[in-house]
Structure 1
């Protein structure tokens, strides 16, 4: 049984190397990577980080939306025994960066790079993903993620095996306490979720939110490595609804707010009250319908609505945090969707309240 997240990746590569592990969308086109390809890429990235001086007990700071590159570099840092701090790119992180003084940073965009640049001390290694407005020669230590592995020929050190080591660090606010999750905590919780929800390698999940959320690590990334299903990355936040409809995921992870957003998005597209079409909608959404009414309601209204939401293949809806509102619960129940609540204790129970907003919004 794997002791760390990178070891779980290697285990999946050995067991089902040719299976699709990850998809990401660029310029409207989906690209697929197998478990073997991911393991090889993470190994190369680990070697590249090691060559740049990253070692055990170092921390890699990432400021990015959900991007496959950010995930792979995080696993590479953990391969070397280091931890990964995740910050929300939509937040002003300058004060926190000044306090943390990171040495290794991955920043997605120009704005994130500028936030890092405002710190008192520029990190020796600053990588960027989106080069628009940037030039690798603009600052000392600044280089493109795509160039990280260039010229690296040596193999990385053996993959770290300390299950008690910190895997991810989250910050609720600038001056508040941090939440640290170890490999053991993440994998232990993931195995419980996999068993309870009967997750398998056949699942399709969508990673549609920033990584700077403890729920994303607990209930999506770690289960992905344990169950071996496919993790899909939308092209951008603005395209996540379209991308979800294209994919038809079998597993979604969300909060009360993200499910409510989907409900509102669907209701805004319903027929106007008083029309025949709206009366048909209300007739079809009766929760206790039986027989012919249930069958007709499904094919006339509920199935098309599920297709619009990208949930026609949904098997495992997960809910993290507070329960759905009564209205939202009734709406999704009428569609046959009953989100399963999953709440794992915080790494620091006495400080859990300070981290309630660090839960992911993936739907």
Structure 2
């Protein structure tokens, strides 16, 4: 049995090899990476981090939306026995950064880089993903993530195998508290989720929510490594609804707020009240309808609405945190979607200020 997330990755690479592990969209085109390619990328990134001085017990701080590059670098840091701290780029993290004094940082774009630059003690290594607005040539302390793959002089060591080691650290700025999650905790929880929800390697998931949420690690990233399904990254938050329709995910992970966001998005596209089309919608969505009415309503209303939402293939809707509102539960229930609830530990709530973005191809 695997003990750490990188070991789980290597197991998938050995057993699933050429099967697709990741898809990510760049300039409107989907790119794919197999399990073997992902394992190779992570190994090379681990070697690059080691050359930069990252070692056992160090922490990599990432300020980014859900990006494939951020995930690979996180696994590379954990490969070397380090932990990963994840922060939301849409929040003001400067007070927390002053306290943390990070030595190794991956910042998604200009705003995140500026947050790091505003603290007195600069990190030893500052990497960026999106170089728009940045002038790395004039800033010798700033390097592009892509440059990590060049100039590697040695192979990475074998991944550290310590299940009790911290894999991720999540912070709640409003409470001044933190929540570490170990490799063992994540993999044990992933195995329970895989068993309860009967997840398989054939699932498709969309990672569209900010990384800085422990539910993302518990109920999407760790199950991805445990079950071996495909994890998809949209090009940007602004495209996640379009990308979800293109992909047609089978697995969805969201919060009450993210389900409500999608419900609101769908309701804005419904026919206006009082129209014949709206009366037909209400007729088709009525609960406890007779079999014939349900069948007609499905093909006329519910199936087209599911297609618009990108949920026509949805098999496993998951909900992290508080239950859906009665209105949302009724809306999704009429579509045949009943999210399975997974409660986060009560010792630390998700940051209230964080935008509630839909995580996988759930709702």
Question: Smaller-chain TM-score range?
Answer: over 0.9
Q: Which moved more, 1:250-259 or 1:175-184?
A: 175-184
Deviation by residue 1:139-194 (Cα, 9 ceiling, x = unmatched)? 23210000012110311111010000000001110661111000011111111000
Aligned partners of 1:19, 1:45: CA distance in 2, in Å? 21
After superposition, residues 222-237 of structure 1 pair within 5 angstroms as 222-237=222-237
Aligned residue for 1:232, secondary structure, equals strand
CA distance in 2, matches of 1:97, 1:175: 15
Distance in 1 between residues matched to 2:217 and 2:281, nearest whole Å: 38
Deviation readout 1:218-276 (Å, 9 max, x if unpaired): 00000000000000000000000000000000001001111111111111111111111
Q: Deviations over 1:2-26 (max 9, x none)?
A: 1000000000000001110000001
Secondary structure of 1:137's match?
A: helix
- TM-score normalised over the length of structure 2: 0.96
Residue 308 of structure 1 corresponds to: 308
- Aligned partner of 2:55 in structure 1 is 55
2:82 aligned partner: 82
> Residues of 2 paired with 1:34 and 1:67: CA distance?
16
Q: 1:354 to 1:41 in 2, by over 3 A?
A: closer
Map of 2:247 onto structure 1: 247
Aligned counterpart, 1:185: 185
Hey, what's the Cα distance between the residues in 2 that align with 1:112 and 1:296?
A: 50
Task: Assess, with a 3 A threshold, how the Cα gap between structure 1 residues 48 and 41 changes in structure 2: closer, same or farther.
Answer: same
> Superposed, which structure 2 residues align to 1:106-125 within 5 Å?
106-125=106-125
CA contact (8 A) 1:216 1:360 kept: no
Which residue is equivalent to 1:27? Answer: 27
Q: What SS does the corresponding residue of 1:8 show, helix, strand or coil?
A: helix
In 1, distance between residues paired with 2:201 and 2:276?
A: 44
Between the aligned partners of 1:146 and 1:124, the Cα distance in structure 2 is 18
Report the Cα offset of residue 291 of structure 1.
2.4
TM-score (norm 1): 0.96
2:349, 2:193 → 1: CA distance? 22
Q: Does 1:97 align with 2:89?
A: no
C-alpha deviation, 1:44, in angstroms: 0.2
How many residue pairs get aligned? The number is 359
Contact 1:3 1:184 in 2 (8 A): yes
CA distance in 2, matches of 1:142, 1:239: 29
Which position in structure 1 is the counterpart of 2:73? 73
Aligned to 2:17: 17
Map residues 1-363 of structure 1 onto 2, 5 A cutoff: 1-173=1-173, 176-344=176-344, 346=345, 351-353=347-349, 361-362=358-359, 363=363
Kindly indicate whether the alpha-carbon contact (under 8 Å) linking 1:95 and 1:174 is maintained by their aligned counterparts in 2: no
Offset, 1:356: 7.4
Kept after mapping to 2: 8 A contact 1:83/1:167? yes
Q: Which moved more, 1:74-83 or 1:94-103?
A: 94-103
- CA RMSD between the two structures: 1.5
Cα pair distance change 1:360/1:55, threshold 3 Å:
farther
Contact 1:190 1:222 (8 Å CA) reproduced? yes
Task: Provide structure 2 residue ranges, at least 5 long, that are not aligned to the other structure.
Answer: none
Q: Separation in 1 of the partners of 2:323 and 2:154?
A: 50
- Paired residues of 1:48 and 1:148 also in contact (CA < 8 A): yes
Q: Whole-Å Cα distance in 1 between the matches of residues 142 and 97 of structure 2?
A: 16
Give the superposition deviation at 1:99: 1.0
Cα pair distance change 1:319/1:227, threshold 3 Å = same
**Cα distance in 2 for residues equivalent to 1:75 and 1:135:** 28
SS of 1:318 mapped into structure 2: strand
Shift of 1:33: 0.5
